[in-house]
Amino acid sequence: MKRKLVSVLLVIAMAMSLCACASSPKEAGGSSPDKGQESSPSEDSNDKGKEQAGAFAAAGDPADWPVIKVETCSFTDAQEKEAEIEKALNEYLVSINAGVQADLLPITVGDRATQLTLMLTDTSDPIDLFAWRWYSSVNDLVKNGQCISLEKYRDVYPELWEMFPESVYDTCKVNGEQFSLPGADSFSNFQVYAMRKDVAEEIGVMDLVDTKITMEQFNEILAKAEAAHPEMCWHGDTFVKPLMGVDNLGNDALIGVLMNRGVGETQIVNYYATEEFRNYCYQCKEWADNGYIVDDPLNTNYAGYTLMNDGIGGGYMFEGYSIDYTYSLMKAQISSYDTVIFQLTDLMGDNSCVYNGWQISTVCKNPDAAMKLLYLMYTDENVARYFTLGIEGVTYQVDENGCAWYADGVDVNTAGWNMSAAWFYPNECLSLPFETDYKEYFSAMEALWSDDTIQYSNGMGFVFDNSSVYDQVAACTATVDEYREALLMGQVDVDSYLEKFNAELEANGINEIIAEMQKQFEVFLASK
Amino acid sequence: MAGKGKGFQIFSNIVMAVLAAGALLPFILLAVSSITSETTITKYGYSFIPRDVDFTAYRYLLMSGTKIIKAYGMTILVATIGTTANICMTMAVGYLLSKRDLPGRNLISFFIFFTMLFSGGMIPSYIVWSQQFHVSDKIFGLICPNLMMNAFNVILMRTYFTTNVPVELCEAAEMDSCSQVGILFHISIPLSKPMVSTLSLFAALAYWNDWINGQYYLIRNKDLYTIQNVLNAMQNNVQFLKEYASSSMGEFASSIPSLGVRMAIAVISIIPIMIAYPFFQKSFVRGIVIGGVKG
Amino acid sequence: MKTAKKLTAARPPKKFVLKRMYKYRFLYLLAVPGFIYLIINNYMPMVGLILAFKNYSFAKGIFASPWCGLSNFSYLFSSKWAKIMFRNTICYNLAFIVLGTVLAIFVAIVLGEIRNARAKQFYQTVILIPHLVSMVLVGYLVYALLSYSNGFINKGILENLGMEGINWYTEPKYWPFILTIVHLWKGFGFQSIVFYATIIGFDKTYYEAAVVDGATIWQQITKITLPLLRPTVIMLTIMSLGRMFASDFGLFYQVPMNTGTLYTATTTIDTFVYRAMMEDHDVGRSLAAGFLQSILGFVVVMITNTVVRKVDSDSALF
């Protein structure tokens, strides 16, 4: 009898431990009590003030305003100031009678893809505003049903459609409909080569510094540098699209590209079968054979500046939109040496220059309110700075040049807010240059938006719908991954390897992909 | 197991020593790398003997100070609750299935085993746990999903009960009008201590090593992070930033912690297990003794 | 006597079913929480498997997403990769099952023979370490050994022997061996502890009787230990066969560091799917791959189990 009692008790205990989870919905709001209660939707008040579809007017008590959950970018999980910044931001939103409150949700970059995917299925505690950078592309977001169309807000917030060059908006459209708004950036760039200043002086190439140099001049510089310092490597990364001169049309595998970065081009090309690619492979092979690139290039994935800081590398390639801007980056990244910059290509804009965009999720319960907050993030300097910099005097301070620095007594590890990711937010140009003396950091960027001399790719905004050739794309992507790196790192014989590579791409149906792309591209061009 | 020969003892010890060395050496490499500076590793590669000693990696971890200690506490709490629930359920089901004349035995076994083959994937599982059972941002989110019971352990338990508990013994007990539950507690479990403690160890290790539940279900409430969540979040961020570090990240990109940190993270998460394991083993050995007496 | 009982157990008279159910009623009751847990944790999410036949839309949810027939599966079969990934997945798994089991049994037996308790404890602890290291780090450790310019094998061993260094990361031919060794290294401790626990639970009287009869250690192992281990080995093998079309993603992706030149030796179904899904996160297609792996595994298990039940009904899984 006693034993039976014990067994029954055990069963009850186990069943209860399971039910404990099931019964917890009652206290579901408990984890965020301060926000949970506020989030009652204000649909009735919304209807009253409505003039046109999608408009949003503030009404009633701020405590009844809808709360919009918006992701923020964090590199470490130390975001202790989140609550404080959120409070300050919400106070500000009340002061301007915004009609919407914000709920900041820091997501660390490492877990972000997984967490966003899961949160975008969550209708009970939905995420409202999020960015696609490092997560997905507008096309895939739309395909997966993760974001809503913003077209109805075009008339409500026309300023949002007038900030950037027209073709930039195209990159966030699918079938002519705006699903996402591009995040502010330079939208055009060129390739530069940064080199240690002492080496540049030693080999006597200072006269070329800050100018655009040709490939021959670049090779000469590399040759001289290698002769003077055979122990160093001169760059680590050869997969540099501006240098290859292609518009990737949004796929990193470069299956179907526009040459000349898409400027004036109307023909989709199988890049790997071109003479240009062959020559670039020869070039890479030469670099490798001459000992310019890092040892074990296939597996050494140290960033160029790490190699430089460690004294192994003497230079590396990266992108920028102005020489001054690249110097300001160098100062932040290379602590051990002074550097000089050589420009390698011309300033142009293509699809790969649009890095980010913001959109409203399909699980969002109050899109009008979310759009209002997004609008403020794009246009209100104060709102933008709460996101990019936090609170003045607490996380950052401003110097006489108008540049921001860590507030007194805090540094990158103790600030409690991530200030190194202004570019993650809708409009970084409303922020202040951070940790740099280059005060035109953002104004120079803004100037590019209205600069008519910059050439943009014809393919800006072309989105390839690969559903009819999906299998070929999957197979070709795997093949590209298999062959390309060894070619670009100069580890194999170019001619024979390239031949095998192309034969396999063809067997996997690259020509069908290109033909389909061309068909869609022509429709796209005609619609413009 | 009453081998006589001294020769066999020597042979066994040599074999085990070689295998243990094989298992241990890479760990030493790991530990040494964790106290070698990034510069040295990029320059000279990995080595068993440290060229220079550099505790930057550990200092970086220490910066999170109390967080790590708190996370250890959390891990122990989660692992204790989880392992207890796990082993109770595993024994209950395993024992039921070990009864050869149990009506529906094959059907139930199949029901259990089927879960090893098919899974609905991450999203459906998340929807069930977070939207039906609301485990998000609660300690249940760390305990309940996936780890509380698994078919593999149940089947191991079942096989052990069938092969290592003599049927005669159970029948004798039945004759003595001992109930089925009584047989479980007085005969089968004592006789199965080696496997019970092994499966407890497996369950505890699964909880100890798990970071997925934290990644899925602790989105806002990072106070509940276990040690693996803390370390893994750190590791994922490092990995991510290494891969995507773009020039515009400015200073932050260059302050990304190094490989050494990852090695240090591994060392920090492994050492407690090495310390705790002998305790598990004691219960292991005690189990054999008790089992021997009872049997 | 034992066999007689087994016979009655194997073919129980029907009319006693209810009686036996009554006899075990509390055991059923005890197992109920476990069943409920499996239903919640495993069976409820299995509804999601229908996504393998749908174009999943986050906006519409699992049930309202449109059907798309078998189109989610086609990318797995459409190119030369199909042959490579199926071949690799199956062959590696077979090798792992055979070698892993043999090694684990060997270690378990040897461990059981060691008399010094302290040494025993030390070995047991140490062989479990590899199981605790994440595959990403194993990747770095392997790289530390195999790196062309800095690796321990090239620099520390081959160079000292006056031999030329080998460029491990560009030669797929070495990788079947490397991956197998890494897999065995990482898993042998864990697996052998299962066998070890089983062995120490065996009835000591068998061995005592054998010693009295003058049996050698070898005879004890082959005549007593191995036959007694058989049900456990069969059970573990059947369970591994269920995973025969799946692979340890970390082993095949992180350990070779996703090096392109090694793809012919390192591409398995899981790594192929991962790479294909990197850019577009297609939920339906990745579930389709998982579903296919499960179905194939299921078929293999059903066949094996039927065969086993014919030969030795006690060892069958169900």
- By CB atoms closer than 10 A (0-12, 13-18, 19+), residue B110 is middle
Mean pLDDT of C178-199: 92
> How many Cα atoms are found within 13 Å in the side-chain-facing hemisphere of C10?
13
**pLDDT of the residue at A366:** 93
Give the residue with greater pLDDT, C200 vs A458: A458
Residue C314 has pLDDT above 60, yes or no: yes
Of the pLDDT bands very low, low, confident and very high (cuts 50, 70, 90), residue B288 is very low
State residue A173 phi and psi, 5-degree precision.
Answer: -105, 150
Mean of pLDDT over chain C: 88
**List of residues 6+ apart from A438 with CB closer than 8 A:** A324, A325, A327, A328, A403
By the 10 Å C-beta count (0-12 exposed, 13-18 middle, 19+ buried), A57 is classed as middle
Q: What is the DSSP letter of A257?
A: B
In this structure, what token pair is assigned to residue C161? 């022997």
Predicted confidence band of residue C109 (pLDDT cuts 50, 70, 90)? very high
Give A246's strand partners. A259
**B 234-273 → A contacts, CB under 8 A:** 234-245, 247-255
Question: Which of these, B179, B177, B106, lies nearest to C25 by C-alpha position?
Answer: B179
Q: pLDDT tens for residues A355-392?
A: 899 999 999 999 999 999 999 999 999 999 999 999 99
- Confidence check: pLDDT of A181 > 70: yes
Q: Which amino acid is at C205?
A: T
Check whether C141 has a pLDDT greater than 90.
Answer: no
Q: Which two tokens stand for residue C111?
A: 């461990």
Contact check, Cβ <8 Å, A118/B243:
no
For B159, which of C204, C235, C283 is closest by C-beta distance?
C235
Nearest beta carbon to residue A312 from set B43, B219, B239: B43
Residue B245 has pLDDT above 60, yes or no: yes
Tokens found for residue A171: 């990159």
| Interface membership of C134 toward A (CB under 8 Å) | no
Mean pLDDT, range A316-323, rounded to an integer: 89
Chain A contact probe: residue of C261, C270, C275 with most A CBs at under 10 A: C261
State which residue of chain C sits closest to B146, comparing Cα positions: C41
Q: Read off the pLDDT of each residue in C284-296 and give the average, rounded to a whole number.
A: 93
CA distance B225 to chain C (A): 19
Interchain contact, C57 vs A144, CB within 8 Å: yes
Half-sphere exposure of A204 (CA within 13 A, CB side): 2
Query: C245 CB near a chain A CB, below 8 Å?
Result: no
Between chains, do C30 and A10 touch, taking CB under 8 Å as contact? yes
Beta strands A455-456; A315-320: pairing state: unpaired
**Cβ neighbours, 10 Å, residue A263:** 19
Asked if A252's CB is within 8 angstroms of C150's CB, the reply is no
Residues of chain A in contact with residue C259, where contact means CB-CB under 8 angstroms, are: 298-299, 485
Residues of B in contact with C43 (CB under 8 A): 115
List of residues 6+ apart from C306 with CB closer than 8 A: none
Pairing of strands A101-108, A129-131: unpaired
pLDDT band at B49 (very low <50, low <70, confident <90, very high): confident
Name residues 12-41 of chain B within 8 A of A (Cβ).
38-39
> Is the pLDDT at B39 greater than 80, yes or no?
no
Out of A6-15, A475-484, B230-239, C129-138, pick the least confident: A6-15
Return the ∠ at Cα C79 (arms to C78 and C81), rounded to 5°: 120
Chain B residues lying within 8 Å of C232, measured CB to CB: 156, 159-160, 163
Minimal C-alpha gap between A210 and chain C (Å)? 35
Minimal C-alpha gap between C94 and chain A (Å)? 25
Contact A32 B220 (CB under 8 A): yes
Q: How far is B180 from chain C (nearest CA, A)?
A: 7
Least confident residue range of A37-41, A268-272, A276-280, B238-242: A37-41
Residue A446 amino acid letter: E
DSSP string, B33-46: HHTS-HHHHHHH--
**A85 membership: H or E segment, kind and range:** helix A82-95
pLDDT value for B41: 73
Mean per-residue pLDDT, B156-172: 89
| Mean pLDDT score of chain A | 86
A38-52, B246-260, C11-25, range with greatest mean pLDDT: C11-25
Residue A302 · residue A157 · CB < 8 Å: no
**pLDDT cut 90: percent of chain A above it:** 59
For residues A44 and A510, the model is more confident at A510
Q: A303-307, A439-443, B258-262: lowest mean pLDDT where?
A: B258-262
What pLDDT does A2 receive? 52
Q: What is the pLDDT of residues B77-108, one digit of tens each?
A: 999 999 999 999 999 999 999 998 899 899 99
Residues 6+ apart with CB under 8 A from B148: B82, B85, B86, B89, C37, C41
Q: What ipTM was estimated for this complex?
A: 0.88
- Distance between CA atoms of A135 and A115, rounded to whole angstroms? 10
Element containing residue C71 per DSSP (H, E): none
Which tens digits make up the pLDDT trace of C227-267?
999 999 999 999 999 999 999 999 999 899 888 899 999 99
CA C210 to chain centre: 34
Q: Which residue of B has its CA nearest to C147?
A: B45
The answer to whether C305 faces chain B, any CB pair under 8 Å, is no
Contact indicator for B63, A413 with CB cutoff of 8 Å = yes
pLDDT at C151: 80
Across the interface, whether the CB atoms of A299 and C267 are under 8 A apart is answered no
Contact assignment for A144 to C81 by CB distance below 8 Å: no
**Mean pLDDT calculated for residue range A344-355:** 90
The confidence score (pLDDT) of residue C108 equals 94
pLDDT band at C2 (very low <50, low <70, confident <90, very high): very low
Q: In which element (H, E) is residue A330 found? A: helix A323-333
For residues A374 and A384, give the distance between their C-alpha atoms in angstroms, rounded to a whole number: 10
Nearest CA in chain B to C154: B45
Contact predicate B253/C163, CB 8 Å: no
Q: Which amino acid, one-letter code, is at A319? A: E
Contact C282 A144 (CB under 8 A): yes
pLDDT of residue A336: 81
Whether B131 contacts chain A with CB within 8 A: yes
pLDDT of residue B58: 83
Torsion of CA C10, C15, C16, C18, to 10 degrees: 120
* Residue A141 Cα distances to A22, A292, B157, C50, angstroms: 32, 41, 46, 21
Rounded Cα distance, C295 and A285, in Å: 46
Please state, in angstroms and rounded to a whole number, the distance separating the CA atoms of residues A247 and A348. 10
Q: How much is the pLDDT for A24? A: 41
- Considering only the beta carbons, identify the residue of B130, B236, B255 that sits closest to A122: B130
- Test C79 with A252 for CB contact under 8 angstroms: no
**pLDDT of amino acid A273:** 95
- Between CA A479 and CA A487 the distance in angstroms is 13
Tell me which chain B residue has its CA closest to the CA of residue A335: B254
| Structure-derived torsion over alpha carbons of residues A129, A132, A135, A136, reported in degrees to the nearest 10 | 120
C-beta separation of B214 from B142 below 8 A: yes
What pLDDT, in 10s, does the model give residues A393-411?
A: 999 999 998 999 999 988 8
For testing the chain A interface, which of B251, B259, B262 should be mutated: the one with the most A CBs within 10 Å?
B251
pLDDT digits (tens, 9 = 90+) for B105-152: 999 999 999 999 998 888 999 999 998 899 999 999 999 999 999 999
Question: Span A283-308, mean pLDDT?
Answer: 83
Of the listed ranges A75-79, A223-227, A455-459, A471-475, the one predicted with least confidence? A75-79
Check CB contact of C55 with chain B, cutoff 8 Å: no
What is the model's pLDDT at position A40?
41
Work out the pLDDT band at C5, boundaries 50, 70, 90.
very low
CB contact under 8 A, A507 and C30: no
State the smallest CA–CA distance between residue A261 and chain C in angstroms: 21
CB < 8 Å to A310, chain B: 38-39, 42-43
Is the pLDDT score of A48 beyond 70?
no
pLDDT recorded at residue A92: 96
What pLDDT is attached to residue C13? Answer: 57
C-beta atoms of B163 and C231 within 8 A: yes
Quick: pLDDT tens for A82-120. 999 999 999 999 999 999 999 999 998 888 988 999 999
Question: Measured between beta carbons, which residues in chain A are less than 8 angstroms from residue C258?
Answer: 481
Choose among B80, B97, B73: nearest CA to B153: B97
Taking residues A443-466, what's their average pLDDT? 90
- Host H or E run for residue A262: none
Which range is least confidently modeled, A312-321, A394-403, A503-512?
A312-321
Could you tell me which residue, A6 or C271, shows the higher pLDDT? C271
List the one residue out of A354, A364, A390 whose CA is nearest residue A70.
A364
Give tens-digit pLDDT for C37-71: 999 999 999 999 999 999 999 999 899 999 999 99
Chain A residues within 8 A of C61 when measuring between CB atoms: 121
**A21 and chain B in contact, CB less than 8 A:** yes
Answer whether C177 touches B (CB < 8 Å): no
Sign of the Cα torsion A339, A342, A347, A350 reads: negative
Highest mean pLDDT among A276-285, C203-212, C270-279: A276-285
Name the least confident of A286-290, B59-63, B210-214.
Answer: B59-63
pLDDT band at B254; cut points 50, 70, 90: low
What pLDDT was estimated at residue A334?
81
* The pLDDT value given to residue B166: 87
Q: Which amino acid is at B117?
A: L
- Enumerate neighbours of A (3 or more CB pairs within 8 A): B, C
Which of A10, A474, A507 is the closest to C75 by Cβ? A474
CA distances in angstroms from A328 to A311, A341, A445, listed in the order given = 20, 11, 14
Within an 8 Å CB–CB cutoff, is residue A312 touching chain B? Answer: yes
For B33, what's the count of Cα atoms within 13 Å in the CB-facing half-sphere?
30
The answer, for B144 touching chain A at a CB cutoff of 8 Å, is yes
Q: Which two tokens stand for residue B223?
A: 């106070």
Give the mutation candidate from B84, B140, B241, B252 for the A interface (greatest A CB count, under 10 A).
B252
List the single best residue of A17, A272, A481 to mutate versus C (max C Cβ within 10 A): A481
